[in-house]
Amino acid sequence: MSWFKDWTWPGRLQDKGIIGMNRRNIRYIGRYNSRRLYPLVDDKLKTKLLAQEYGITTPKLIGTVSTQFGVKHIGDMLTGHNGFVIKPAKGSGGKGILVIEKVVDNQFVKPSGAHLSLEDLERHVSNILSGLYSLGGSPDVALIETLINFDESLMAYTYEGVPDIRVIVFKGYPVMAMMRLSTAASDGKANLHQGAVGVGLNIATGEALRGVQFDRPCFSHPDTGHDLASLVVPQWDTLLNLAAGCYEMTGLGYLGTDMVLDRQHGPMLLELNARPGLAIQMTNGEGLRRRLDLIERQPDGVPVAKRVAFAQHHFARKSELTETPDTVTASA
């Protein structure tokens, strides 16, 4: 019986409007995301150039490496930059992203405090070029971007890494959002399956709704101990408008947008995902189904601002963290 306690019935998931992997793949990704548009989001370099074209702010590009010959020159490229991020253009699921927080005595320091030599960086870039992290192992390009100086108000909610905000944009409407806070368990990466904390966000205000780590509820950051209930994302409306604008930019109907908040530049687009995961439902404590059904009934061709307002009006919710967290703990 205790074994059975971890499981639920399909009917109960259905009542909650939870979308499963199969439904996401067939009903939303298969139907709304045209294959030929995938390269726009699978290649971060293309996304970046396209975003510049559409006036969507992204982290500044230091340079790209596209040949093994060029690997030897990354030392020159990096001089003068104190913090930077090396990522594969076609990587998926955060694979192959190397964050260097500062440079001390020609040693590159990761957020975890680990020191890397220039040879380590060259090996990493070389791996990226040979396609180790890319989909299907095809040859790839390495991007080097400036490190984001993320907003101080969010500092207390993260351990080592940059907290990013995932907004699911369906047919141009922001339908659900969460913030991903890196933890010691996730090695400074904001990937939920690696142990980052996911915090569901109220679409109306950017306030925290609910926290989840390893798919199980959590109420404070495991490393900093900071209460999640007080988390509010600043410049929320700007961020939503930016995310919703990615629909026009890519043409993809079911899109995961990853945003960050920079101290100087405000909300920035980090990357796009044509196959966004389903964990956002866990962090929000709500299924996507009802919201997607509502959006599917809306007409096409509505301007960005009106779409954002519509979403903020219809998808507003109350936080589960502030009210009576005790009852939730008791039932969990």
Partner 1 sequence: MSRLPFYIIVGLLLVAGIATSVHRHLQFEIPWIPGEQRQVWEVEAVINFNAQNGPVEVDLALPSHQNGFRVLTENTASSGYGLAYQADELGRQAQWTIREAAGSQQLYYSVQMLVSPDARPPVQTPPGLRTATPWESPYESAASQLIDRAWARSANNETFARELILDVNGERQGENARLLLTQETPSALIVRLLNQAGVQAREVSGLLLEDGRRRQSLSSWIQVFNEPANQWSLFNPMTGEQGQPDNLLLWETGGRAVLEVQGGTNSRVAFSMLTHHQPASAAVRNHYSEDTLLNFSIHSLPLEEQALFQTILLIPIGALVVVFLRVLVGIKTSGTFMPVLIALAFIQTTLLTGLIGFLLIVAVGLVIRNYLSYLNLLLVARVSAVIITVIAIISIFTVLAYRMGLSAGLTVTFFPMIILAWTIERMSILWEEEGPKQVLIQGGGSLLTAVLAYLAMNNPWVRHITFNFLGVQLILMALILLLGNYTGYRLLELRRFKPITDDEKPS
Footprint on this chain of partner 1 (rule: CB under 8 A): 6-10, 12-13, 15-16, 18, 20-23, 26-27, 31, 68, 95, 119, 122-123, 126-127, 130-132, 137, 193-194, 212, 215-217, 281-282, 285-287, 320, 327-328, 330-332
Give the 3-state secondary structure percentages of the chain, helix then strand then coil, rounded to 5: 35, 25, 40
Q: How far is the C-alpha of 27 from the C-alpha of 276, rounded, in Å?
A: 14
Query: Least separation, in Å, of the C-beta of 245 and partner 1?
Result: 28
Query: Least separation, in Å, of the C-beta of 283 and partner 1?
Result: 10
Query: Least separation, in Å, of the C-beta of 179 and partner 1?
Result: 18
Query: Least separation, in Å, of the C-beta of 124 and partner 1?
Result: 10
* φ/ψ of residue 158, rounded to 5: -140, 155
Question: Cα dist. 326→197, 218, 332 in Å?
Answer: 20, 12, 10
Q: Closer to partner 1 at the Cβ: 98 or 246?
A: 98
Query: Least separation, in Å, of the C-beta of 36 and partner 1?
Result: 18
Q: Closer to partner 1 at the Cβ: 229 or 244?
A: 229
Q: How far is the C-alpha of 247 from the C-alpha of 203, rounded, in Å?
A: 17
Q: Closer to partner 1 at the Cβ: 32 or 310?
A: 32
SS3 270: strand
* φ/ψ of residue 198, rounded to 5: -105, 135
DSSP secondary structure string, 55-123? Answer: T---PPEEEEE-SHHHHTTHHHHHTT-SSEEEEETTB-TTTT-EEE-EEETTEEEPTTS-EE-HHHHHH
Locate 41 and state its tokens. Answer: 């989001």
Query: Least separation, in Å, of the C-beta of 7 and partner 1?
Result: 5
Q: Closer to partner 1 at the Cβ: 97 or 148?
A: 97
Q: Closer to partner 1 at the Cβ: 52 or 324?
A: 324
Q: Closer to partner 1 at the Cβ: 126 or 149?
A: 126
Q: Closer to partner 1 at the Cβ: 117 or 230?
A: 117
Cα-atom radius of gyration of the chain, to the nearest Å? Answer: 20
Q: How far is the C-alpha of 291 from the C-alpha of 44, rounded, in Å?
A: 28
Query: Least separation, in Å, of the C-beta of 49 and partner 1?
Result: 26
Check: CB of residue 250 under 8 Å from CB of residue 43: no
Query: Least separation, in Å, of the C-beta of 80 and partner 1?
Result: 26
For residue 270, the one-letter residue type is L
Q: Closer to partner 1 at the Cβ: 53 or 332?
A: 332
